[in-house]
Structure 1
Protein backbone atom coordinates (compact mmCIF):
# COMPACT_ATOMS: atom_id res chain seq x y z
CA UNK A 1 0.00 0.00 0.00
CA UNK A 2 1.20 3.50 -0.84
CA UNK A 3 -0.02 6.07 1.67
CA UNK A 4 2.10 9.20 1.13
CA UNK A 5 4.15 9.32 -2.08
CA UNK A 6 4.63 7.02 -5.04
CA UNK A 7 7.41 7.40 -7.60
CA UNK A 8 6.81 7.25 -11.33
CA UNK A 9 8.79 4.00 -11.43
CA UNK A 10 6.59 2.49 -8.72
CA UNK A 11 3.44 3.60 -10.50
CA UNK A 12 4.66 1.99 -13.72
CA UNK A 13 5.18 -1.24 -11.77
CA UNK A 14 1.59 -1.34 -10.43
CA UNK A 15 -0.21 0.34 -13.35
CA UNK A 16 -2.06 -2.87 -14.29
CA UNK A 17 -3.23 -3.55 -10.73
CA UNK A 18 -6.99 -4.16 -10.75
CA UNK A 19 -7.71 -1.96 -7.75
CA UNK A 20 -5.62 1.02 -8.90
CA UNK A 21 -7.43 4.32 -9.46
CA UNK A 22 -5.47 7.30 -10.83
CA UNK A 23 -6.87 10.81 -10.50
CA UNK A 24 -5.62 13.88 -12.37
CA UNK A 25 -5.89 16.99 -10.17
CA UNK A 26 -4.30 19.60 -12.41
CA UNK A 27 -5.61 23.12 -11.89
CA UNK A 28 -4.74 26.79 -12.26
CA UNK A 29 -5.98 29.24 -9.65
CA UNK A 30 -5.99 31.99 -12.28
CA UNK A 31 -7.75 29.93 -14.98
CA UNK A 32 -10.44 27.53 -13.77
CA UNK A 33 -10.61 25.73 -17.13
CA UNK A 34 -6.88 25.07 -17.42
CA UNK A 35 -6.86 21.77 -15.52
CA UNK A 36 -9.57 20.11 -17.60
CA UNK A 37 -8.03 21.46 -20.79
CA UNK A 38 -4.69 19.93 -19.84
CA UNK A 39 -6.40 16.63 -19.00
CA UNK A 40 -8.18 16.58 -22.36
CA UNK A 41 -4.93 17.29 -24.17
CA UNK A 42 -3.23 14.30 -22.54
CA UNK A 43 -3.26 12.43 -19.24
CA UNK A 44 -1.86 9.27 -17.67
CA UNK A 45 -3.64 6.24 -19.09
CA UNK A 46 -6.77 5.41 -17.13
CA UNK A 47 -6.77 8.60 -15.07
CA UNK A 48 -10.00 10.30 -14.06
CA UNK A 49 -10.19 14.09 -13.73
CA UNK A 50 -11.02 15.82 -10.44
CA UNK A 51 -12.03 19.47 -10.62
CA UNK A 52 -10.80 21.44 -7.61
CA UNK A 53 -13.77 23.82 -7.61
CA UNK A 54 -16.52 21.30 -8.38
CA UNK A 55 -15.32 18.00 -6.89
CA UNK A 56 -12.84 18.89 -4.16
CA UNK A 57 -14.43 22.04 -2.70
CA UNK A 58 -17.77 23.09 -1.26
CA UNK A 59 -19.90 26.27 -1.31
CA UNK A 60 -18.03 29.43 -0.41
CA UNK A 61 -20.96 30.63 1.71
CA UNK A 62 -22.23 28.36 4.46
CA UNK A 63 -25.81 27.66 5.51
CA UNK A 64 -25.40 30.39 8.14
CA UNK A 65 -24.65 32.94 5.41
CA UNK A 66 -20.99 33.33 6.42
CA UNK A 67 -18.11 33.26 3.96
CA UNK A 68 -16.09 30.06 4.44
CA UNK A 69 -13.09 30.85 2.26
CA UNK A 70 -12.26 30.38 -1.42
CA UNK A 71 -12.08 26.58 -1.32
CA UNK A 72 -14.08 25.22 1.64
CA UNK A 73 -14.11 21.47 2.15
CA UNK A 74 -16.81 19.70 0.15
CA UNK A 75 -19.85 18.36 1.95
CA UNK A 76 -19.25 14.70 2.78
CA UNK A 77 -22.10 13.34 0.65
CA UNK A 78 -20.88 15.31 -2.37
CA UNK A 79 -17.32 14.13 -1.84
CA UNK A 80 -18.39 10.50 -1.61
CA UNK A 81 -20.43 10.87 -4.81
CA UNK A 82 -17.42 12.26 -6.66
CA UNK A 83 -15.07 9.56 -5.36
CA UNK A 84 -17.50 6.82 -6.36
CA UNK A 85 -17.84 8.39 -9.81
CA UNK A 86 -14.06 8.09 -10.13
CA UNK A 87 -14.48 4.35 -9.47
CA UNK A 88 -12.89 4.34 -6.02
CA UNK A 89 -13.76 1.34 -3.84
CA UNK A 90 -13.10 0.87 -0.15
CA UNK A 91 -10.01 -1.20 -1.03
CA UNK A 92 -8.69 0.84 -3.99
CA UNK A 93 -5.13 2.07 -4.20
CA UNK A 94 -5.55 5.69 -5.27
CA UNK A 95 -2.79 7.72 -6.92
CA UNK A 96 -3.28 11.46 -7.37
CA UNK A 97 -1.14 13.73 -9.50
CA UNK A 98 -0.85 17.22 -10.94
CA UNK A 99 1.75 19.33 -12.74
CA UNK A 100 2.45 21.68 -9.84
CA UNK A 101 4.65 19.82 -7.38
CA UNK A 102 1.67 18.16 -5.74
CA UNK A 103 -0.06 21.33 -4.55
CA UNK A 104 -3.47 20.23 -5.87
CA UNK A 105 -2.98 16.46 -5.72
CA UNK A 106 -2.31 16.77 -1.98
CA UNK A 107 -5.81 18.19 -1.51
CA UNK A 108 -7.39 14.94 -2.74
CA UNK A 109 -4.85 12.95 -0.71
CA UNK A 110 -6.03 14.77 2.45
CA UNK A 111 -9.72 14.49 1.59
CA UNK A 112 -9.48 10.73 1.14
CA UNK A 113 -7.69 10.44 4.47
CA UNK A 114 -10.39 12.61 6.04
CA UNK A 115 -12.93 9.86 5.32
CA UNK A 116 -10.61 7.12 6.54
CA UNK A 117 -9.05 5.93 3.26
CA UNK A 118 -5.33 5.36 3.82
CA UNK A 119 -4.35 3.78 0.48
CA UNK A 120 -3.80 7.07 -1.34
CA UNK A 121 -0.51 8.53 -2.55
CA UNK A 122 0.65 11.55 -4.51
CA UNK A 123 2.75 10.90 -7.62
CA UNK A 124 6.12 12.41 -6.78
CA UNK A 125 7.09 14.78 -9.58
CA UNK A 126 3.63 14.59 -11.13
CA UNK A 127 2.90 14.18 -14.80
CA UNK A 128 6.39 15.40 -15.74
CA UNK A 129 8.02 12.53 -13.86
CA UNK A 130 5.71 10.07 -15.61
CA UNK A 131 6.48 11.48 -19.05
CA UNK A 132 10.21 11.49 -18.27
CA UNK A 133 10.06 7.68 -18.16
CA UNK A 134 8.93 7.72 -21.79
CA UNK A 135 5.27 6.98 -21.15
CA UNK A 136 2.93 8.59 -23.66
CA UNK A 137 -0.15 10.42 -22.42
CA UNK A 138 -3.58 9.51 -23.73
CA UNK A 139 -6.71 11.49 -24.52
CA UNK A 140 -9.35 8.79 -24.00
CA UNK A 141 -11.41 9.22 -20.83
CA UNK A 142 -12.20 6.04 -18.87
CA UNK A 143 -15.74 5.13 -17.85
CA UNK A 144 -15.32 3.14 -14.63
CA UNK A 145 -18.11 1.41 -12.74
CA UNK A 146 -19.31 3.32 -9.70
CA UNK A 147 -17.12 2.72 -6.68
CA UNK A 148 -18.29 1.68 -3.23
CA UNK A 149 -16.09 3.83 -1.01
CA UNK A 150 -17.78 4.98 2.18
CA UNK A 151 -16.95 7.08 5.23
CA UNK A 152 -14.80 5.45 7.87
CA UNK A 153 -12.88 6.80 10.85
CA UNK A 154 -10.96 9.93 9.84
CA UNK A 155 -7.16 9.82 9.63
CA UNK A 156 -6.95 13.61 9.78
CA UNK A 157 -7.65 16.50 12.14
CA UNK A 158 -9.13 19.90 11.35
CA UNK A 159 -9.93 23.08 13.23
CA UNK A 160 -12.33 25.89 12.46
CA UNK A 161 -11.98 29.66 12.62
CA UNK A 162 -13.47 29.83 16.12
CA UNK A 163 -10.88 27.42 17.50
CA UNK A 164 -8.06 29.43 15.97
CA UNK A 165 -9.45 32.68 17.36
CA UNK A 166 -9.92 31.21 20.83
CA UNK A 167 -6.33 29.96 20.83
CA UNK A 168 -5.06 33.46 20.06
CA UNK A 169 -6.97 34.82 23.03
CA UNK A 170 -5.52 32.22 25.42
CA UNK A 171 -2.35 33.76 26.81
CA UNK A 172 -0.44 30.51 27.44
CA UNK A 173 -2.09 28.22 24.88
CA UNK A 174 0.49 25.72 23.61
CA UNK A 175 -2.02 23.59 21.71
CA UNK A 176 -1.88 25.69 18.54
CA UNK A 177 0.99 26.72 16.31
CA UNK A 178 -0.23 28.03 12.97
CA UNK A 179 1.97 27.36 9.92
CA UNK A 180 1.18 29.31 6.74
CA UNK A 181 2.01 27.61 3.40
CA UNK A 182 1.79 30.78 1.26
CA UNK A 183 4.77 32.44 -0.39
CA UNK A 184 6.75 34.78 1.86
CA UNK A 185 5.54 37.99 0.19
CA UNK A 186 1.92 37.01 0.74
CA UNK A 187 2.66 36.02 4.34
CA UNK A 188 4.26 39.42 4.98
CA UNK A 189 1.32 41.21 3.36
CA UNK A 190 3.21 42.46 0.31
CA UNK A 191 1.19 40.87 -2.53
CA UNK A 192 -2.05 42.79 -2.92
CA UNK A 193 -2.73 41.21 -6.33
CA UNK A 194 -3.47 37.84 -4.73
CA UNK A 195 -4.34 38.94 -1.19
CA UNK A 196 -6.12 42.32 -1.18
CA UNK A 197 -6.00 42.12 2.61
CA UNK A 198 -2.40 41.16 3.25
CA UNK A 199 -0.65 39.63 6.21
CA UNK A 200 -1.08 36.56 8.37
CA UNK A 201 -2.65 35.25 11.55
CA UNK A 202 -0.73 36.67 14.54
CA UNK A 203 1.83 34.20 15.85
CA UNK A 204 1.90 32.14 12.65
CA UNK A 205 5.16 30.98 11.09
CA UNK A 206 5.79 30.70 7.37
CA UNK A 207 6.70 27.48 5.54
CA UNK A 208 6.17 27.91 1.80
CA UNK A 209 4.92 24.60 0.41
CA UNK A 210 7.56 24.59 -2.33
CA UNK A 211 10.21 24.37 0.40
CA UNK A 212 9.19 20.71 0.71
CA UNK A 213 10.60 20.03 -2.78
CA UNK A 214 14.13 19.66 -4.06
CA UNK A 215 15.63 21.32 -7.12
CA UNK A 216 14.13 18.61 -9.35
CA UNK A 217 10.59 19.18 -8.12
CA UNK A 218 10.54 15.98 -6.06
CA UNK A 219 9.84 15.78 -2.35
CA UNK A 220 12.94 16.02 -0.22
CA UNK A 221 14.07 12.91 1.60
CA UNK A 222 12.23 12.11 4.85
CA UNK A 223 15.17 12.90 7.14
CA UNK A 224 15.76 16.30 5.54
CA UNK A 225 12.07 17.15 5.79
CA UNK A 226 12.04 16.04 9.41
CA UNK A 227 15.00 18.24 10.33
CA UNK A 228 13.57 21.26 8.54
CA UNK A 229 10.12 20.88 10.05
CA UNK A 230 11.40 20.32 13.59
CA UNK A 231 13.25 23.62 13.28
CA UNK A 232 9.91 25.25 12.46
CA UNK A 233 7.36 23.60 14.78
CA UNK A 234 7.37 22.54 18.42
CA UNK A 235 5.23 19.43 18.03
CA UNK A 236 3.15 18.22 15.06
CA UNK A 237 0.28 17.49 17.44
CA UNK A 238 0.04 21.22 18.19
CA UNK A 239 0.59 22.42 14.62
CA UNK A 240 -2.20 23.80 12.41
CA UNK A 241 -1.59 24.08 8.68
CA UNK A 242 -3.18 26.88 6.66
CA UNK A 243 -2.60 28.77 3.42
CA UNK A 244 -4.75 31.00 1.23
CA UNK A 245 -7.77 28.70 1.01
CA UNK A 246 -6.88 25.35 2.55
CA UNK A 247 -5.41 23.74 -0.59
CA UNK A 248 -1.62 24.11 -0.45
CA UNK A 249 -1.74 23.62 3.32
CA UNK A 250 -2.39 19.96 2.47
CA UNK A 251 1.04 19.87 0.81
CA UNK A 252 2.63 20.73 4.15
CA UNK A 253 0.53 18.04 5.83
CA UNK A 254 1.75 15.52 3.27
CA UNK A 255 5.36 16.58 3.85
CA UNK A 256 4.91 16.07 7.59
CA UNK A 257 3.60 12.55 6.99
CA UNK A 258 6.58 11.80 4.73
CA UNK A 259 8.83 13.07 7.53
CA UNK A 260 7.14 10.81 10.06
CA UNK A 261 5.64 13.76 11.93
CA UNK A 262 1.96 12.87 12.06
CA UNK A 263 -0.86 14.62 13.85
CA UNK A 264 -1.00 18.18 12.52
CA UNK A 265 -4.41 19.70 11.78
CA UNK A 266 -5.79 21.59 8.79
CA UNK A 267 -7.55 24.94 9.07
CA UNK A 268 -9.66 24.64 5.89
CA UNK A 269 -10.91 28.24 5.69
CA UNK A 270 -7.35 29.57 5.98
CA UNK A 271 -6.43 33.15 5.20
CA UNK A 272 -9.30 33.82 2.77
CA UNK A 273 -11.83 33.06 5.51
CA UNK A 274 -9.82 34.67 8.31
CA UNK A 275 -9.36 38.06 6.64
CA UNK A 276 -13.02 38.26 5.53
CA UNK A 277 -13.95 39.47 9.02
CA UNK A 278 -12.32 42.80 9.91
CA UNK A 279 -12.68 42.04 13.64
CA UNK A 280 -10.08 39.25 13.43
CA UNK A 281 -6.48 40.34 14.14
CA UNK A 282 -3.94 40.57 11.31
CA UNK A 283 -0.16 40.71 11.50
CA UNK A 284 2.26 41.81 8.77
CA UNK A 285 5.96 41.49 8.22
CA UNK A 286 8.13 38.39 8.78
CA UNK A 287 7.58 35.59 11.33
Structure 2
Protein backbone atom coordinates (compact mmCIF):
# COMPACT_ATOMS: atom_id res chain seq x y z
CA UNK A 1 0.00 0.00 0.00
CA UNK A 2 1.40 3.38 -1.01
CA UNK A 3 2.23 5.83 1.75
CA UNK A 4 0.82 9.31 1.17
CA UNK A 5 3.59 11.88 0.79
CA UNK A 6 3.21 15.09 2.78
CA UNK A 7 2.75 17.91 0.24
CA UNK A 8 5.22 20.33 1.87
CA UNK A 9 8.95 20.30 2.54
CA UNK A 10 10.93 22.88 4.51
CA UNK A 11 14.12 24.47 3.28
CA UNK A 12 16.16 22.66 5.94
CA UNK A 13 14.62 19.29 5.04
CA UNK A 14 15.23 19.86 1.34
CA UNK A 15 18.83 20.87 1.88
CA UNK A 16 19.47 17.59 3.71
CA UNK A 17 17.77 15.57 0.98
CA UNK A 18 19.81 17.25 -1.74
CA UNK A 19 22.97 15.98 -0.02
CA UNK A 20 21.59 12.46 0.14
CA UNK A 21 21.79 9.52 -2.25
CA UNK A 22 18.41 10.14 -3.90
CA UNK A 23 18.13 13.88 -4.29
CA UNK A 24 14.73 15.11 -5.51
CA UNK A 25 14.34 16.85 -8.86
CA UNK A 26 13.79 20.60 -8.47
CA UNK A 27 11.37 22.61 -10.60
CA UNK A 28 11.41 26.42 -10.59
CA UNK A 29 7.89 27.59 -11.49
CA UNK A 30 8.21 31.34 -11.27
CA UNK A 31 5.23 33.07 -12.86
CA UNK A 32 3.13 36.14 -12.10
CA UNK A 33 0.02 37.46 -13.77
CA UNK A 34 1.81 40.76 -14.49
CA UNK A 35 5.12 39.08 -15.42
CA UNK A 36 4.42 35.57 -16.68
CA UNK A 37 7.90 34.83 -18.03
CA UNK A 38 10.21 34.09 -15.10
CA UNK A 39 13.24 32.96 -17.11
CA UNK A 40 15.32 36.04 -16.34
CA UNK A 41 14.64 35.70 -12.62
CA UNK A 42 15.54 32.02 -12.83
CA UNK A 43 18.85 32.76 -14.57
CA UNK A 44 19.67 35.41 -11.97
CA UNK A 45 19.42 32.93 -9.11
CA UNK A 46 17.77 29.56 -8.46
CA UNK A 47 18.12 26.53 -6.22
CA UNK A 48 21.08 24.41 -7.33
CA UNK A 49 20.04 22.13 -10.17
CA UNK A 50 16.52 23.55 -10.48
CA UNK A 51 14.99 23.45 -13.97
CA UNK A 52 12.83 26.34 -15.12
CA UNK A 53 9.21 25.45 -15.90
CA UNK A 54 7.13 27.73 -18.13
CA UNK A 55 3.64 27.76 -16.65
CA UNK A 56 1.88 29.25 -19.67
CA UNK A 57 3.30 26.81 -22.22
CA UNK A 58 4.06 23.68 -20.17
CA UNK A 59 1.49 23.64 -17.35
CA UNK A 60 -1.45 24.79 -19.49
CA UNK A 61 -3.02 23.99 -22.82
CA UNK A 62 -4.76 26.25 -25.29
CA UNK A 63 -8.41 26.43 -26.24
CA UNK A 64 -11.47 28.62 -26.68
CA UNK A 65 -12.31 31.38 -24.22
CA UNK A 66 -14.93 29.21 -22.54
CA UNK A 67 -12.16 26.70 -21.70
CA UNK A 68 -10.50 29.33 -19.51
CA UNK A 69 -7.17 31.13 -19.67
CA UNK A 70 -5.15 28.14 -18.45
CA UNK A 71 -6.88 24.93 -19.54
CA UNK A 72 -5.19 21.67 -18.67
CA UNK A 73 -2.41 20.44 -20.96
CA UNK A 74 -2.87 17.11 -22.70
CA UNK A 75 -1.22 14.14 -21.01
CA UNK A 76 1.22 13.58 -23.89
CA UNK A 77 2.26 17.25 -23.85
CA UNK A 78 2.70 17.31 -20.08
CA UNK A 79 4.70 14.08 -20.19
CA UNK A 80 6.98 15.50 -22.88
CA UNK A 81 7.57 18.58 -20.74
CA UNK A 82 8.21 16.50 -17.62
CA UNK A 83 10.78 14.43 -19.49
CA UNK A 84 12.44 17.65 -20.64
CA UNK A 85 12.64 18.67 -16.97
CA UNK A 86 14.59 15.47 -16.39
CA UNK A 87 11.90 13.61 -14.46
CA UNK A 88 12.34 9.85 -14.41
CA UNK A 89 10.17 7.00 -13.19
CA UNK A 90 10.06 6.98 -9.42
CA UNK A 91 11.77 10.35 -8.98
CA UNK A 92 10.85 12.55 -6.06
CA UNK A 93 10.01 16.10 -7.16
CA UNK A 94 10.05 19.43 -5.30
CA UNK A 95 8.48 22.52 -6.88
CA UNK A 96 8.95 26.12 -5.79
CA UNK A 97 8.55 29.75 -6.82
CA UNK A 98 9.06 33.21 -5.34
CA UNK A 99 5.36 33.85 -4.71
CA UNK A 100 4.49 31.77 -1.66
CA UNK A 101 3.75 28.75 -3.82
CA UNK A 102 0.90 30.45 -5.69
CA UNK A 103 2.29 29.43 -9.08
CA UNK A 104 4.35 26.36 -8.14
CA UNK A 105 1.26 24.67 -6.71
CA UNK A 106 -0.01 24.31 -10.28
CA UNK A 107 2.91 21.95 -10.98
CA UNK A 108 2.33 20.13 -7.69
CA UNK A 109 -1.33 19.54 -8.52
CA UNK A 110 -0.80 18.58 -12.17
CA UNK A 111 1.89 16.03 -11.37
CA UNK A 112 -0.18 14.56 -8.54
CA UNK A 113 -3.30 14.11 -10.67
CA UNK A 114 -1.07 12.63 -13.38
CA UNK A 115 0.07 9.85 -11.06
CA UNK A 116 3.45 11.06 -9.77
CA UNK A 117 3.61 9.75 -6.22
CA UNK A 118 6.25 11.94 -4.58
CA UNK A 119 5.66 15.64 -5.30
CA UNK A 120 6.14 18.35 -2.69
CA UNK A 121 6.14 22.12 -2.59
CA UNK A 122 8.95 24.04 -0.89
CA UNK A 123 7.14 25.82 1.93
CA UNK A 124 8.01 29.50 1.74
CA UNK A 125 9.66 29.09 -1.66
CA UNK A 126 12.84 30.82 -2.69
CA UNK A 127 12.54 33.33 0.16
CA UNK A 128 12.64 30.55 2.76
CA UNK A 129 15.69 29.04 1.06
CA UNK A 130 17.52 32.37 1.04
CA UNK A 131 16.49 33.17 4.62
CA UNK A 132 18.04 29.89 5.71
CA UNK A 133 21.32 31.08 4.18
CA UNK A 134 21.35 28.34 1.58
CA UNK A 135 23.13 28.76 -1.77
CA UNK A 136 21.65 29.62 -5.14
CA UNK A 137 23.23 29.30 -8.56
CA UNK A 138 22.93 31.30 -11.75
CA UNK A 139 22.45 30.46 -15.40
CA UNK A 140 20.52 27.82 -17.31
CA UNK A 141 19.99 24.22 -16.23
CA UNK A 142 19.60 21.63 -18.99
CA UNK A 143 19.07 18.17 -17.50
CA UNK A 144 19.41 14.79 -19.16
CA UNK A 145 15.90 13.96 -20.45
CA UNK A 146 13.90 11.66 -18.20
CA UNK A 147 11.61 8.72 -18.84
CA UNK A 148 8.69 9.48 -16.53
CA UNK A 149 5.33 8.02 -17.59
CA UNK A 150 2.26 10.07 -16.69
CA UNK A 151 -1.31 8.87 -16.33
CA UNK A 152 -4.29 10.63 -17.94
CA UNK A 153 -5.30 13.54 -15.73
CA UNK A 154 -8.16 12.40 -13.54
CA UNK A 155 -8.89 11.34 -9.98
CA UNK A 156 -5.19 11.33 -9.18
CA UNK A 157 -3.55 10.77 -5.81
CA UNK A 158 -4.74 11.90 -2.38
CA UNK A 159 -8.31 12.06 -3.68
CA UNK A 160 -7.54 15.13 -5.77
CA UNK A 161 -10.02 15.35 -8.60
CA UNK A 162 -11.13 17.49 -11.52
CA UNK A 163 -14.50 19.08 -12.24
CA UNK A 164 -15.68 20.77 -15.42
CA UNK A 165 -17.71 23.93 -15.79
CA UNK A 166 -21.09 22.17 -15.82
CA UNK A 167 -20.24 20.26 -12.65
CA UNK A 168 -18.94 23.42 -10.98
CA UNK A 169 -22.21 25.25 -11.58
CA UNK A 170 -24.14 22.43 -9.89
CA UNK A 171 -21.61 21.87 -7.11
CA UNK A 172 -23.18 24.20 -4.48
CA UNK A 173 -26.29 22.00 -4.53
CA UNK A 174 -24.45 19.17 -2.80
CA UNK A 175 -21.09 20.50 -1.60
CA UNK A 176 -18.87 23.53 -1.14
CA UNK A 177 -17.60 25.46 -4.16
CA UNK A 178 -14.69 27.56 -2.91
CA UNK A 179 -13.71 30.77 -4.73
CA UNK A 180 -10.05 31.40 -3.90
CA UNK A 181 -9.71 34.82 -5.57
CA UNK A 182 -9.33 38.07 -3.65
CA UNK A 183 -12.52 39.16 -1.88
CA UNK A 184 -12.97 42.25 -4.07
CA UNK A 185 -13.01 40.11 -7.20
CA UNK A 186 -15.44 37.67 -5.60
CA UNK A 187 -17.80 40.53 -4.72
CA UNK A 188 -17.49 41.96 -8.22
CA UNK A 189 -16.05 45.27 -7.06
CA UNK A 190 -13.25 44.91 -9.60
CA UNK A 191 -12.33 42.53 -12.40
CA UNK A 192 -8.91 43.24 -13.90
CA UNK A 193 -8.67 40.24 -16.23
CA UNK A 194 -11.86 38.37 -17.08
CA UNK A 195 -14.95 39.41 -19.11
CA UNK A 196 -17.41 39.82 -16.22
CA UNK A 197 -17.13 40.62 -12.52
CA UNK A 198 -18.62 38.57 -9.70
CA UNK A 199 -18.72 34.91 -8.75
CA UNK A 200 -20.51 31.64 -9.38
CA UNK A 201 -23.87 31.64 -7.56
CA UNK A 202 -23.59 29.69 -4.33
CA UNK A 203 -19.78 29.85 -4.12
CA UNK A 204 -17.97 30.56 -0.85
CA UNK A 205 -15.20 33.16 -0.65
CA UNK A 206 -11.92 31.98 0.91
CA UNK A 207 -9.06 34.05 -0.58
CA UNK A 208 -5.96 31.95 -1.12
CA UNK A 209 -3.52 34.53 0.22
CA UNK A 210 -5.01 34.07 3.70
CA UNK A 211 -3.68 30.52 3.83
CA UNK A 212 -0.14 31.85 4.30
CA UNK A 213 1.47 33.41 7.32
CA UNK A 214 3.53 36.63 7.29
CA UNK A 215 6.64 34.66 6.35
CA UNK A 216 4.99 33.19 3.25
CA UNK A 217 4.68 29.66 4.63
CA UNK A 218 1.40 27.78 5.02
CA UNK A 219 -0.60 28.10 8.21
CA UNK A 220 -0.75 25.02 10.43
CA UNK A 221 -3.34 22.41 9.35
CA UNK A 222 -5.63 23.18 12.31
CA UNK A 223 -5.64 26.89 11.45
CA UNK A 224 -6.36 26.12 7.80
CA UNK A 225 -9.21 23.81 8.77
CA UNK A 226 -10.68 26.47 11.06
CA UNK A 227 -10.45 29.08 8.32
CA UNK A 228 -12.35 26.98 5.79
CA UNK A 229 -14.94 25.80 8.29
CA UNK A 230 -15.58 29.40 9.34
CA UNK A 231 -16.38 30.17 5.69
CA UNK A 232 -18.94 27.36 5.62
CA UNK A 233 -16.86 24.56 4.08
CA UNK A 234 -17.60 21.01 5.25
CA UNK A 235 -14.13 19.47 4.99
CA UNK A 236 -15.57 15.96 5.20
CA UNK A 237 -17.97 16.62 2.33
CA UNK A 238 -17.62 17.36 -1.36
CA UNK A 239 -15.31 20.34 -1.93
CA UNK A 240 -14.32 21.93 -5.24
CA UNK A 241 -12.15 24.99 -5.69
CA UNK A 242 -11.66 27.62 -8.39
CA UNK A 243 -9.86 30.92 -8.96
CA UNK A 244 -9.41 33.13 -12.01
CA UNK A 245 -7.89 30.55 -14.34
CA UNK A 246 -7.04 27.45 -12.31
CA UNK A 247 -3.55 28.48 -11.17
CA UNK A 248 -3.97 29.74 -7.60
CA UNK A 249 -6.85 27.28 -7.18
CA UNK A 250 -4.15 24.59 -7.04
CA UNK A 251 -2.64 26.46 -4.08
CA UNK A 252 -6.04 26.37 -2.39
CA UNK A 253 -6.31 22.65 -3.21
CA UNK A 254 -3.01 22.11 -1.41
CA UNK A 255 -4.24 24.11 1.59
CA UNK A 256 -7.48 22.13 1.66
CA UNK A 257 -5.48 18.90 1.51
CA UNK A 258 -3.47 20.05 4.53
CA UNK A 259 -6.75 20.90 6.26
CA UNK A 260 -7.97 17.33 5.80
CA UNK A 261 -10.27 17.69 2.76
CA UNK A 262 -10.12 15.81 -0.54
CA UNK A 263 -10.64 18.70 -2.94
CA UNK A 264 -11.46 18.72 -6.61
CA UNK A 265 -10.19 21.54 -8.83
CA UNK A 266 -12.07 23.32 -11.58
CA UNK A 267 -9.40 24.18 -14.18
CA UNK A 268 -11.53 26.56 -16.25
CA UNK A 269 -12.45 28.58 -13.17
CA UNK A 270 -13.89 32.09 -13.41
CA UNK A 271 -12.24 32.79 -16.77
CA UNK A 272 -14.31 29.99 -18.31
CA UNK A 273 -17.54 30.84 -16.51
CA UNK A 274 -17.44 34.58 -17.19
CA UNK A 275 -16.73 33.99 -20.89
CA UNK A 276 -20.14 32.38 -21.36
CA UNK A 277 -22.82 35.10 -21.32
CA UNK A 278 -25.53 32.49 -20.70
CA UNK A 279 -24.19 31.68 -17.24
CA UNK A 280 -25.52 33.60 -14.23
CA UNK A 281 -23.23 35.78 -12.16
CA UNK A 282 -23.63 36.67 -8.47
CA UNK A 283 -22.17 39.84 -6.98
CA UNK A 284 -21.67 41.14 -3.48
CA UNK A 285 -21.08 39.21 -0.27
CA UNK A 286 -22.56 35.73 0.25
CA UNK A 287 -25.14 37.25 2.61
CA UNK A 288 -26.59 39.41 -0.17
CA UNK A 289 -30.13 38.75 -1.32
CA UNK A 290 -30.47 35.82 -3.75
CA UNK A 291 -31.82 38.11 -6.47
CA UNK A 292 -28.50 40.02 -6.57
CA UNK A 293 -27.53 38.30 -9.81
CA UNK A 294 -26.90 39.32 -13.41
CA UNK A 295 -27.42 37.06 -16.40
Work out whether the TM-score is over 0.5: yes
Q: Equivalent residue for 1:54?
A: 57
Q: Equivalent residue for 2:183?
A: 184
Q: Equivalent residue for 1:27?
A: 31
Alignment of 1:133-144 (within 5 A): 133-144=132-143
Which whole-Å deviations, capped at 9, do the CAs of 1:107-161 have from their partners, x for residues lacking one? Answer: 0000011111121111011001101111232113333222122124722211101
C-alpha separation in 1, matches of 2:255 and 2:283: 26
How far did residue 2 of structure 1 move? 4.7
How far did residue 93 of structure 1 move? 1.1
How far did residue 166 of structure 1 move? 4.2
Aligned residues: 276
How far did residue 32 of structure 1 move? 2.5
Q: Equivalent residue for 1:278?
A: 277
Classify the secondary structure of the residue corresponding to 1:53. Answer: helix
How far did residue 3 of structure 1 move? 3.4
Instruction: Indicate which of 152, 161, 165 corresponds to 1:161.
Output: 165
C-alpha separation in 1, matches of 2:88 and 2:216: 30
Q: Retained in 1: the 8 A contact 2:241–2:263?
A: yes
How far did residue 164 of structure 1 move? 2.3
Q: Retained in 1: the 8 A contact 2:242–2:270?
A: yes
Q: Equivalent residue for 1:238?
A: 238
| Root-mean-square deviation over aligned CA pairs | 1.7
Q: Retained in 1: the 8 A contact 2:221–2:259?
A: yes
C-alpha separation in 2, matches of 1:11 and 1:260: 24
Q: Equivalent residue for 1:39?
A: 42
Residues 167 and 7 (structure 1 numbering): CA distance in 2 closer, same or farther, change over 3 Å? closer
Q: Retained in 2: the 8 A contact 1:237–1:264?
A: no
How far did residue 162 of structure 1 move? 1.6
C-alpha separation in 2, matches of 1:167 and 1:128: 37
How far did residue 167 of structure 1 move? 4.5
Q: Retained in 2: the 8 A contact 1:19–1:91?
A: no
C-alpha separation in 2, matches of 1:39 and 1:167: 39
Which whole-Å deviations, capped at 9, do the CAs of 1:65-116 have from their partners, x for residues lacking one? Answer: x631011111111001111111112211100001111101100000011111
How far did residue 192 of structure 1 move? 3.1
Classify the secondary structure of the residue corresponding to 1:87. Answer: coil
C-alpha separation in 1, matches of 2:19 and 2:80: 25
C-alpha separation in 2, matches of 1:224 and 1:48: 33
Q: Equivalent residue for 2:8?
A: 5
TM-score, normalised via structure 1 length: 0.91
Residue 16 (1) aligns with residue 19 (2): yes
Q: Retained in 2: the 8 A contact 1:186–1:195?
A: no
Q: Higher mean Cα deviation, 9-18 or 120-129?
A: 9-18
Name stretches of at least 5 consecutive residues in structure 2 with no aligned partner. 287-295
TM-score, normalised via structure 2 length: 0.89
Residues 5 and 48 (structure 1 numbering): CA distance in 2 closer, same or farther, change over 3 Å? same
Q: Retained in 1: the 8 A contact 2:242–2:266?
A: yes
